[in-house]
Amino acid sequence: MRVLLEGAFAESVHVAKEAVTVEVDETEELLDRQTLGSYFALNQFYRDIGEHNMAMTNLKRCLARQTVLLGAEDEDTLACQQYVGEYLTFLGDSSEAVRMLEACVATHRQRLAAASAGAGDEVVTDCGFSEASDVAATTATPPLDLAAADAATLGAMRALAKAYLKARSYREAVTILRERF
């Protein structure tokens, strides 16, 4: 039974590799939302089997296509951006992960600010973490209105705090964790 399962897994990997090769080589135009979602899932599979370079290259390509097709503020685009940032953290590329996740959190905040503008709620829209020296300036900023924040925003903030910790940027991590909680 185990040999059968291992054989089936090996065949799945082979088929998946062929599918990605065809899609990447022959499809350079924009794709629809459903195809992008499948492409994203396939690259999660690559990550799971340890094909990190292929997964990261294709995930970044998927993110770029989602951004153009769906827009930077789309929930699927933000989820992909957060996933890529978390994956970069896992792979040890802390500086790129921090940049990716700061942009993700900033976009979430802009989205929340736009949504709450009609309700009269004040929401912080400036991420303020582009430089380590900016952290001191942001500590006086009122915290994000958590009542208006959604789970995706809080997840992106958690991922950013984790990336800061991995990058040994403890002050930034503490600041975002205090704001989150």
Residue 167 reports pLDDT greater than 60: yes
Q: Which of 102, 96, 104 is CA-nearest to residue 79?
A: 104
Q: Using CB atoms within 10 Å of the CB of residue 163, give its burial: 0 to 12 exposed, 13 to 18 middle, 19+ buried.
A: buried
Q: Measured between alpha carbons, how far is 2 from 60 in angstroms, rounded to an integer?
A: 35
Residue 155 and residue 111: Cα distance in Å, rounded? 15
> Three-state SS for 128?
coil
Mean pLDDT for the chain?
A: 74
Instruction: Give the pLDDT confidence of 1-47 residue by residue, as tens digits.
Output: 444 434 444 554 454 444 444 344 444 445 688 888 888 888 889 99
Of 76, 96, 69, the residue nearest 85 (C-alpha)? 96
Tens digits of residue pLDDT in 103-144: 999 999 888 887 777 654 444 444 444 444 444 444 333 454
